[in-house]
Structure 1
Amino acid sequence: MAHASTADIQTFVEREAKAASVPGVAYALIDGDQVHTGHFGQTKDDGGRSVSEQTAFAIGSISKSFTAFAIMQLREKGLLELDMPVSTYLPELEKAAVGAMTVRQLLSHTSGLSIVQGNSNQTDVTTDRDALKRRVVYLATITPARAPGEVWDYSNANYQLLSRVVEVLSATEFGDYVESQILKPLGMNDSRMIDWEHGPDDAAPHRPWFWTKVQFDGRGTGRGSLGQGGVMASARDMATYLNMMMNGENDILTADSKAEMMQPASSISPSYGLGWFIAPERGLVFHSGANPGFEAFASMRPDQKKGFIILANGGSGFGFGETGYLRRGAAVLALGGQDERRPGWMMKAAFLLIVALPLFCLLGAWRSWKRRASIKAKGRGIAHSRIWMPLLAAVGFAYVLLIFLPGSFGVNIQTATFFQPDLGLLLILSAIGIAIWAAIHSLVALYSRA
């Protein structure tokens, strides 16, 4: 696909932001030494300020590239080696299973830690100075899903460990290190680590709520999660950051180290480097990011010195209010590539089914209770299995709704509710509705046999 004009990108962003109920968007297109920025909407959906190129958004997992960058800086200072076990730098992990993972395996998501393990503590939003240290103590108690170096599996836990390595080796709190050694030297003056109090010029997060989005006033992350998703940045500043990654120069990191970050980390990780996803056959380096109420997408073509960043203060919904087409579609318009497909009706139908499920369950419970007299008339003709089968079915459905379905997306029900409160609420209500139906059905069956 040919690159679109800046006017076409702006038109696309405005149209799709409205379709996805996203209050505000900022983006930047890098083309060599040229940077074009654009924006749309408000920092809040209730009359906030207009979004600008200086507006700070949480960039979610794009923050992992900053953590990887910090690790590479420490390597260049001779403070660590990528192929040494992480317990070399975190002695408290010496006897833990996670201690055998190498720094490179953590950087490239080949450590053996799973996506579910990495997302299990996303709702820990504590902010005291020991939060990251406690997170590492917790990780020392878990058994990785696979052996190190066996498979690729994206896991936030990898970057929680890496951020603690930065903290220990630099003798500086992780967030302070990123600000003083990366953001400030690059002149990213509108950017910082999340400080849990949104400034008047910041974009406010908005989480999906059925067919719209509602402002989220809680904390989207804690200090223990800064290494995986703790950076807030403006579109203009992110353009500076991406330009630095592609400039081929020795500055706050050598050109060789930057290039290494954007190459396959190993044969087990052909599509991920060190803090970046890569598509070598398409010449692309990219990463998406999500915090509760925020979505972001960064992409680069380093050989062409072209890049694109888009930031949105609306979290993606399920079926309705999805932001994927907005983010990835804008990137395709900016840099070319395979056309992005608009979400189809199946996800919408699935969401509507989940909306209706609690109502169907309660209707079934009401019908069973209403028919109890006619069922009683059948007396002992009611099979004994009519008593316990509904309860067994309820347990099975609860497992599917509260464990299996969230797990298929790599999260638990708490994390699913944290990012998509409408979907999480519906899954919980559905499980409760099925439990009520089963209880009523079983009680009626038991009553009929009395």
Structure 2
Amino acid sequence: MIGAAFGVVVGVATLGWAVRRVVGLLCNLLHRPEAATGDPILAALLDEHTSRHTRRLGVAVVESAADTPVGVATVAATPESVFEIGSISKALTGMLIADAAQRGELDLADRVATHLPELARRPVGDCTIGELGSHTSGLPRLALGPRALLQVFGLVVVGLNPYAGQGVSFVIRGAARARLRTRGRKAYSNLGAALAGAVLERATGSSYPDLVRDRIVNPLGLTHTSADHRAPRATGHTKAGEWARPWRMTGYAPAGGVTSSLADLATVARALLAGTAPGIGSLDRDDCFWVRERGAAGGPVVWHNGETGGYAAYLGLRPEAGRAVIVLADVADMSLIMRLTQAIGAPAR
């Protein structure tokens, strides 16, 4: 009986996956992207790189000497259109950590158990906040378990949100179970970033969405940025044309749950270039989630990208040159994002 039931589940799942792929293929075949508008040079680049799976797309170029972006172009969007920014959320989390350190609420050398004493007897409790921020804690990419695996299954088959219902307690329990086999070696971990958010919440006495609002959004005057999982957002798409449910996150919000816009991220980038952003010290560290590279002419490059089930994003800065580039899309196609950054001459790897 169990084998037969399992066979039925697999059969239904396979049929659902196949139907979804066929529908996505038809959507891509029938879709015609709109022409880009905005800055003529950037618009021409967007038109050159769009394809049948392009929906909403936007780029902005920021220079520290200008009060507004020096160039903005969009496809089927405006500078205020809201996008999921995925793992660029980690960069905001790094800013919040640096800001909290400046306020004396925590230190990046603090052990995790200092702020989450329930982890004192667990291996992860001995890790530092800096190890979380440099992806060297040894934590796995995600908290593993039957529920998480089932949700990943739902993502693959019907495009559901794999993080639904995974709150802060879920993150802490997942971290408590981890064995940290790769501690000391860089291994990208969404779980580590989520745990850093839990540490922030405990150290400051505020929820992560409130920290984003009170310490980044309000001081910078942002109008379309939020870490609240209830914030409005549209359904995104896979590269194959399939719809993808919004990735509304609670416990994992510090790792990838923030939504924003071209206009807001341009404001963040301008403040970072000017040295006036909250948590500006995060740009000069290797343990606050930003990716730092030596770069070529123009000085060091500091950047982060992000991808959810239906969105892809990029934010890159060259602080010494006073230049930044933002790219946002509501299709999970990181290859398109990187092609655009290279075409624009963005400060990217």
Q: TM-score range by the shorter chain?
A: 0.7 to 0.9
Q: 1:14 to 1:182 in 2, by over 3 A?
A: same
* Residue among 293, 317, 323 paired with 1:300: 317
Q: Deviations over 1:66-96 (max 9, x none)?
A: 1111111111111111112111011011001
- Secondary structure in structure 1 of the residue aligned to 2:51: helix
> Which is bigger in relative contact order (C-alpha 8 A, separation at least 6)?
2
* Residue among 227, 245, 249 paired with 1:193: 227
Task: Verify: 1:207 aligned to 2:238, yes or no.
Answer: yes
The answer to whether the Cα contact below 8 Å between 1:196 and 1:219 also exists between their aligned partners in 2 is no
Unaligned runs of 5+ in 1: 43-50, 266-272, 317-322, 341-450
Q: Deviations over 1:146-167 (max 9, x none)?
A: 23xx211111111111110111
Structure with higher helix content: 1
AA of the residue aligned to 2:282:
M
The alpha-carbon deviation at position 124 of structure 1 amounts to 3.0
Unaligned runs of 5+ in 2: 1-37, 153-161
Using the size of structure 1 for normalisation, the TM-score is 0.61
The alpha-carbon deviation at position 53 of structure 1 amounts to 0.2
AA of the residue aligned to 2:226:
R
* Residue among 299, 305, 310 paired with 1:288: 305
Q: 1:40 to 1:336 in 2, by over 3 A?
A: closer
Q: What's the counterpart of residue 22 of structure 1?
A: 54
Q: 1:96 to 1:158 in 2, by over 3 A?
A: same
Q: Deviations over 1:249-283 (max 9, x none)?
A: 4x534xxxx2x423453xxxxxxx52211111432
Q: Distance in 2 between matches of 1:75 and 1:93?
A: 21
* Residue among 324, 331, 334 paired with 2:341: 331
AA of the residue aligned to 1:92:
E
AA of the residue aligned to 2:141:
I
Q: Distance in 1 between matches of 2:202 and 2:174?
A: 17
The answer to whether the Cα contact below 8 Å between 1:117 and 1:155 also exists between their aligned partners in 2 is no
CA RMSD after TM alignment: 2.5
Task: Verify: 1:95 aligned to 2:116, yes or no.
Answer: no
The answer to whether the Cα contact below 8 Å between 2:163 and 2:247 also exists between their aligned partners in 1 is no
Using the size of structure 2 for normalisation, the TM-score is 0.77
- Secondary structure in structure 2 of the residue aligned to 1:30: strand
What pairs with 1:61-210 in structure 2 (closer than 5 Å)? 61-115=87-141, 123-126=162-165, 131-147=167-183, 150-196=184-230, 198=232, 202-209=233-240
Task: Verify: 1:8 aligned to 2:22, yes or no.
Answer: no
Flag the structure with larger Rg: 1
Q: Distance in 2 between matches of 1:223 and 1:281?
A: 35
The alpha-carbon deviation at position 245 of structure 1 amounts to 1.3
Q: Deviations over 1:139-182 (max 9, x none)?
A: 112211223xx211111111111110111122111112111211
Percent of matched pairs sharing the same residue = 22
Q: Distance in 2 between matches of 1:54 and 1:36?
A: 16
Q: Distance in 1 between matches of 2:239 and 2:82?
A: 20
The answer to whether the Cα contact below 8 Å between 2:55 and 2:330 also exists between their aligned partners in 1 is yes
Q: Distance in 1 between matches of 2:100 and 2:115?
A: 12
Q: What's the counterpart of residue 275 of structure 1?
A: 289
Q: Deviations over 1:400-420 (max 9, x none)?
A: xxxxxxxxxxxxxxxxxxxxx
The number of equivalent residue pairs is: 294
Q: What's the counterpart of residue 261 of structure 1?
A: 282
The answer to whether the Cα contact below 8 Å between 1:293 and 1:315 also exists between their aligned partners in 2 is yes
